[in-house]
Amino acid sequence: MESRPQVVAHRGASAKVAEHTLQAFVAALDEGAEALECDVRLTADGHLVCVHDRDLRRTAQRRGVVSTMELAQLEELDFASWKNPWADLDDEAPDADPERGKVLTMRRLLETARDYARPVELAIETKHPTRYAGLVERRLVQLLDEFDWAGPRSPVRVMSFSWVALRRIRRLTPHLPLVFLMDGPTQWLRSRPISEPDWIAGPGMALVREHPELVRRISMAGSRVHVWTVNEPTDIDLCVDLGAEALITDRPGPTLRYLEQGTGRV
């Protein structure tokens, strides 16, 4: 892995399995993903869950806001069927475990990574703005501490578009690597007076395509670069050329094979 970027599964193997489900993350690990990326939100009763959108219309096909619902309410919903709505009509489709298509708690994902047969890293994005503000970061660090993953040898890094959230994490624990996510060409420079030298740059793939020299300058200045979401061979090649340390992808297996073989389709 020293000669290529780390392959990070974006919300699991989300190109083929419903994002943020246990099934998606297990599939990503089985494909060889070296790290798992997830988004985390806080429920009304204080549980951290892996959900990207603030509302449930896209992934659970119903009205509702994650932060206003309790975990028990979310556990009643199906977070997987939207990905393949015709699965019941496909006689050749493999049987799916309904438990793996339910809302996934952060605790369960940490347990899955901890118990897997090989080391697994995690890239956890705290979502903002949220009605709970800094409570999300405090709950996350508390949970990581239960796993003894809030210290210097933690496999976890925390990501956010909010520099306030990242500074909050740094105050709660000085040990976790921090990734400042960005989708605009001026965000990295504007963050410099309020960030710390060891922050990792997290540009989106669209930004990398439009401003490759910016990313090259960031890398050459000594900052680590983690890019999201990298799915196409030309994008993989560009990120490698620019010195990216990690590629966050919807297709961890094919991306890993492409990097290792240098050929084939992603």
Catalytic residue among 10, 20, 47, 226: 10
Closest among 165, 144, 168 to 156, alpha carbons compared: 144
52 is catalytic: yes
Query: How confident is the model over 185-219, as pLDDT tens digits?
Result: 999 999 999 999 999 999 999 999 999 999 999 99
Q: How many CB atoms within 10 Å of residue 148?
A: 10
| Average of per-residue pLDDT values in the chain | 93
Query: What is the structure's pLDDT at 89?
Result: 46
What pTM value is reported for the model? 0.93
* Mean pLDDT confidence for 10-24: 97
- Annotated domain spans of the chain: 6-54+104-261
Query: What is the assigned CATH class of domain 6-54+104-261?
Result: alpha beta
Percent helix, percent strand, percent coil in the chain, to nearest 5: 35, 20, 45
Per-residue pLDDT, 264: 46
Q: What is the pLDDT of residues 103-144, one digit of tens each?
A: 999 999 999 999 999 999 999 999 998 888 899 999 999 999
Catalytic residue among 52, 128, 175, 211: 52
226 is catalytic: no
- Residue whose token pair is 């960030």: 195
